Amino acid sequence: MEHRGLSYKNSQISYYRFGTGPHPVICFHGYGEDGKLYGFLEKYVGDDYTFYAIDLPFHGKTEWKEGLLFTYKDLLQIIHEIFKQNSFSGSAGSFSDTTQTSNFKFSVLGFSLGGRIALSLYQANPENIKKIVLLAPDGLKVNVWYWFATQTGMGNRIFAFSMRKPGWFLEFLKVANKLGLVNASVFKFVNYYIGNNEARQLLYQRWTTLRKLKPNLIRIKNLIRQYETPTRLLYGKYDRIILPVRGEKFQKGIEEFCSITVIDSGHQVVHENHVEQILPALLH
């Protein structure tokens, strides 16, 4: 695995390149993780694929200096620069936010939060994407709390205040958990990030910065049918954060192109222990 970086506007984008195969894959990690998450795939399919795993804003070693905003245009341009930096242009076609060449194809791989980013990338540029692989993906259901906190002015102000003074929110969360409005896994996950000052600051920065990347599922499903894009979903049977039923609802109407696999795992399905279940999603 090789760590690389590129300059984008005032920022430094961190990413990892591994594998030497002819088929490029853009990878997006989950919340609080980084591009190294996928490194174990190199020894299994490194001869077939070259992976580019990006550290998202306010994650890993990426230094994001463009304020609390990351757009589709930023995403497309950064990927264009990665391919340009790694000589994936010219005879193989080109990729940019203004000119797409249909003979240049790459796959996208996203876990959890990274699934939402992968779907957003496909929505913005379906012509160049050969396959979509989503592992316990966010983005297939609107989270009311996330929507209120990031998509409304009032909600974002309350969100910012709560991250500075979280006491009232922690009490509210406890009550919501007792009333069954949030399940135990989500309660534990949120409580962990709210309880630490640095984690709260990062939560606000990450959620707010990525708020513009909102997959339109109706449009995406239409694009999957139009471009006949193979789409593979993988879920953990015991995941209480992102449930397999979300994938089942998304699959309706695109069954010809979309398959779902459920494995014996919780939310963290991206692990070498599950490589035998992950590889078919990439290879077939």
Q: How far apart are CA 51 and CA 46, in angstroms?
A: 8
SS3 68: coil
Q: pLDDT tens, position by position, for the chain (284 residues)?
A: 999 999 999 999 999 999 999 999 999 999 999 999 999 999 999 999 999 999 999 999 999 999 999 999 999 999 999 999 997 643 334 454 434 455 789 999 999 999 999 999 999 999 999 999 999 999 998 878 788 888 899 989 988 888 888 787 778 878 888 888 777 777 777 777 777 788 889 999 999 999 999 999 999 999 999 999 999 999 999 998 899 999 999 999 999 999 999 999 999 999 999 999 999 999 88
Q: How far apart are CA 127 and CA 129, in angstroms?
A: 6
Query: Which is it for strands 11-18 and 49-54: parallel, antiparallel or unpaired?
Result: antiparallel
Q: Give the H/E segment covering residue 54.
A: strand 49-54
Q: How far apart are CA 25 and CA 129, in angstroms?
A: 9
10 Å Cβ neighbour count for 3? 15
The overall pTM is greater than 0.85: yes
What is the reported pLDDT for 143? 78
- Sheet of strand 231-236, all strands in order from the earlier edge strand to the far edge: 2-8, 11-18, 49-54, 23-28, 106-111, 129-135, 231-236, 258-263
What is the reported pLDDT for 102? 54
Q: How far apart are CA 118 and CA 86, in angstroms?
A: 20
Partners of 236 in the β-ladder: 263
What is the reported pLDDT for 99? 41
8 Å CB contact between 281 and 234: yes
